[in-house]
Homo-oligomer: A and B are copies of this chain.
Amino acid sequence: MARVTQAHLDARREDILEAAQNLFLNRGFNNVTMQDIATEAGISAGAIYRYYPGKDELVHAYLERCVGGGPAALVREIAPEAPPLKRLIAIASAVQGMWLESSGDQIISDIQTKMAGIRQPDDIGPMVRDAREQLFDALIEIIEAGQRAGEIDPKFNARALAMSLNAWVAGIGVEALESGEEQLEEQLEQMFGVLIEILNRLGPAADGAA
């Protein structure tokens, strides 16, 4: 099987990572053996080691992929011309759509990544934190634009609001998963509904008038 094109090799590497991904998503890193991954990828266990030096690196590659592509890019892409508040709402809807499409897989990979970044001396931590900062920056930009446009109360600390909204969205994902996959759509609908309703209440005069 020699003299295979680089494309084929890349595809194989990708196959392995995808096989690992499928298993990691459903069983967690520790409950997946190299043999499991090999079987899922349709190769022998030893073959994996041509593509990844060891299990750690495979896990790392998986986490890297989860972080990579990154939500920051997504945030910037969604409705870039719409008014700030509309953009935030559009982003929330986009996240909801993605989660639904992947049947919750993305939610799990997201939380796995977060857990890997917590209390671990791994080098995954910095990567996660970096992606988070970029995401925050993108959100802060929108929020500040909203504040300048009078759509969002300037009394909000933009960064705190960005973090809190991000936390909220993440929390919604986990919460929705908890009720089981059959109800995923309905639960997301309800919780994102509340979130969007509340986004509409971020304006300045809201409680100031009371």
State the Cβ distance, A161 to closest chain B Cβ, in Å. Answer: 5
A132 to B49, CA, bound (A): 43
Q: Mark A18-30, 1 if CB is under 8 A from B, else 0.
A: 0000000010111
A175 and B166 contact, Cβ closer than 8 Å, known pairs A111-B111, A191-B160: yes
Q: Looking at the complex, which of A4-12, A57-65, A71-79, A114-122 is the stretch in contact with chain B? A: A114-122
A168 to B166, CA, bound (A): 9
**Which listed residue, B171, B178, B190, touches A168 by the CB 8 Å rule?**
B171
Interface residue A91 (Cβ < 8 Å from any Cβ of B)? no
Question: Contacts of A44 on B, CB cut-off 8 Å?
Answer: 2
Interface residue A109 (Cβ < 8 Å from any Cβ of B)? no
A26 to B55, CA, bound (A): 21
Which residue on chain B has the smallest CB distance to residue A191? B164
Q: Which of A36-56 contact B (CB under 8 A)?
A: 44, 46
Interface residue A138 (Cβ < 8 Å from any Cβ of B)? no
A117 and B178 contact, Cβ closer than 8 Å, known pairs A203-B207, A206-B206, A207-B200: yes
Q: Which of A118-157 contact B (CB under 8 A)?
A: 118-119, 128-129, 132, 155-157
Contact sample, A vs B, 6 pairs, CB 8 Å cutoff: A28-B30, A28-B115, A129-B178, A160-B193, A166-B171, A203-B210
Chain A residues with a Cβ under 8 A of chain B: 2, 26, 28-31, 44, 46, 108, 111, 114-115, 117-119, 128-129, 132, 155-157, 159-161, 163-172, 174-179, 181, 187, 190-191, 193-195, 197-198, 200-203, 206-207, 210
Contacts A118-B177, A201-B206 known; 4 new A-B pairs at CB < 8 A: A163-B187, A164-B195, A198-B201, A201-B202
Q: Sorted from nearest, which 8 A-B pairs have the closest CB atoms?
A: A171-B171, A30-B30, A167-B171, A167-B175, A160-B190, A164-B194, A164-B191, A168-B168
